[in-house]
Structure 1
């Protein structure tokens, strides 16, 4: 039986100096930004301790074990064998997205984003010099899926790229292999590019059916890039490391033409930590984390059903983010503002994810059962007042 990974105590977490634990006063429970409250994977801790002990704190090398470590991880976890020679590292997924979009679009070109979506996507497209074209996910009542007809219309109207979130943030949707295959065909037939942000992929629950975009077809490999990182699953965002992954000669050629500084922005500690995270040595820890997150996503459902029955929430397929519709409570377009002010719980603002986020909040359940329970109790008390 897999042993769950348990979150640190609230007292210990208050000693952290990262954004999650420094943005708000100590009376606020912070469940907004995507940091987790678990101890590091032991292999990651050992790698970082060794680097500090040995003073291994210089520039990242031109040749590192990171790509090979990710290949092993992808084989074990997804049954996918990408080519390590077709990968380049950079500081984070956001930087990778911008650098790729800059080279597959011209200033003013439109890039499809599938709202509601990770708020920085809007800014990243603009940073690359392009223009956002929103094509909302289709809400089927019990799940979300890509609106392939809407994406086709956008491409026929001149959109040049699709910025895909796979698995999707904030809904936790794992896009089906069939949808990804169809998306690749659409992009290929319109000469467009797909950039797939797969930062939440290691957090896909067993049996969710997660499929890497570049694995679905020859068309996907010709039109696509993936940008991956250990940072979300292993809580390494501050160490700055991601991989840009190609799967064809054409797309690899684009990565090879990136300025050398793009790769040099990789953090040395980030590379060492990510290599350890992707190693087989960390699989047991990750399996335990997924058990805890499965328990927590179900706990959120149970607590909402008991305390806030008018809230609408679907279990995410991946990640540690709960997308909750509070429209039925009548708390306005941005209920997180009232929740922060009156309940002293910090959630991510729903409207930041696009117009579809009105009346919604995003709650980070990558923490302890006690913190989740107290947060929902505080929020529910607003309805009892």
Structure 2
């Protein structure tokens, strides 16, 4: 399974389309949480102009008054075509899909299908903070199996946790983040097949959050969890929301492997009432007609990754940048700067740059920050300049 050549004729780089003045007119969380003198490079929203096919699809629906409840399988069909084209994967069976409100609420519903109150759910910290929050809110127990060397999955740690988790009730789930947030790690087919084998050996049910799947760098290839041998009893959540910046247009898809079809069939009907009809329309248009836009975005993100590496090497060489293969997030190890467990607070207070604190990401997060590089090169450059100015010269060097 390998990536296909990308069409680079998607128009101008969407990351360069909007200036700071226009971005500050936005009313979403990214631009309203902090005062105007703060550069926000934290929450996972991109500073982009939207793909024209998405704008057209939503505008046409509004003109028609097509603002009712979602119906049909167009979203699943668009995702299946996208998966076949981009990932060489034809494993999406439309009858084994369900529309859910968004990926995290879909994760909640999938975990409810395969575990009960008090059952353990294994995660790989440092990992997306809502994993901890949502698991706790549904009365499940979080069990950590930290990432290993190179910020990759650790089979030994996973096996130990799988064995412990199934020694009691015998029911447990593994919430897999693929690609991984915050590190941008793209799990290989070999790594995922090892996960599937361990899950089958110990009876652990895998639920894969694959929301960042469209955002893989040209040097890597995304492998769907349900596409590896042994993953037939797995469940997956996918969405166009991260790839096309559609978080405010709620919609996602739950996918079941052949051995999990009966589980997905037990999904309560009311869950399907949660997605936005306009969201489904937007996501379908993105997957079907927004691929050229995505290609241009991926080129811009790749440019920004190189820019960030160069800026840090010049201005903050003590920061260790984990090389990301996916997402538009950068995981920065700031421990050598001597700023304590929460350097994000220092960069905010002294530099007026908002980054995500590493602490809520669990084990391995202390002394780290997550930076959102899905912005213009100018804003990214200014943010690093401010970060450097916030650190005493005696600590900024290597």
Q: How does 1:1-385 map to 2 (within 5 A)?
A: 2=9, 4-7=13-16, 8-61=18-71, 63-81=72-90, 82-139=92-149, 143-159=150-166, 160-217=172-229, 219-222=230-233, 224-248=234-258, 250-279=259-288, 281-384=289-392
Alignment check: 8 A CA contact 1:334 1:360 kept: yes
The SS at the match of 1:59 is coil
Alignment check: 8 A CA contact 1:164 1:197 kept: yes
Equivalent-residue separation in structure 1 for 2:104 and 2:322 (angstroms): 27
Shift of 1:207: 3.1
Equivalent-residue separation in structure 2 for 1:235 and 1:327 (angstroms): 31
Shift of 1:161: 1.1
The SS at the match of 2:290 is helix
Q: Structure 1 stretches (4+) deviating beyond 4 angstroms?
A: none
Alignment check: 8 A CA contact 1:137 1:144 kept: yes
Equivalent-residue separation in structure 1 for 2:307 and 2:192 (angstroms): 31
Instruction: Describe the superposition over 1:216-241 as per-residue Cα deviations: whole angstroms up to 9, x where unpaired.
Output: 11x1022x111001001111111110
Aligned length: 377
Equivalent-residue separation in structure 2 for 1:251 and 1:56 (angstroms): 34
The SS at the match of 1:221 is coil
Equivalent-residue separation in structure 2 for 1:103 and 1:45 (angstroms): 35
Give TM-score, length-normalised by structure 1: 0.96
**Which structure 1 residue ranges, 5 or more long, are not aligned?**
none
Shift of 1:348: 0.2
Give TM-score, length-normalised by structure 2: 0.93
The SS at the match of 2:370 is strand
Equivalent-residue separation in structure 2 for 1:77 and 1:5 (angstroms): 21
Alignment check: 8 A CA contact 2:119 2:141 kept: yes
Shift of 1:209: 2.2
Shift of 1:315: 2.1
Alignment check: 8 A CA contact 1:99 1:128 kept: no
Shift of 1:384: 4.2
Shift of 1:264: 1.2
Instruction: Describe the superposition over 1:134-161 as per-residue Cα deviations: whole angstroms up to 9, x where unpaired.
Output: 010002xxx3211111111111112411
The SS at the match of 2:236 is strand
The SS at the match of 2:283 is helix
Equivalent-residue separation in structure 2 for 1:369 and 1:209 (angstroms): 25
Point out the more displaced range, 330-339 or 102-111.
102-111
Alignment check: 8 A CA contact 1:204 1:317 kept: yes
The SS at the match of 2:391 is helix
Equivalent-residue separation in structure 2 for 1:339 and 1:256 (angstroms): 48
**Which structure 2 residue ranges, 5 or more long, are not aligned?**
1-7, 167-171, 394-398
The SS at the match of 1:220 is coil
Shift of 1:101: 0.6
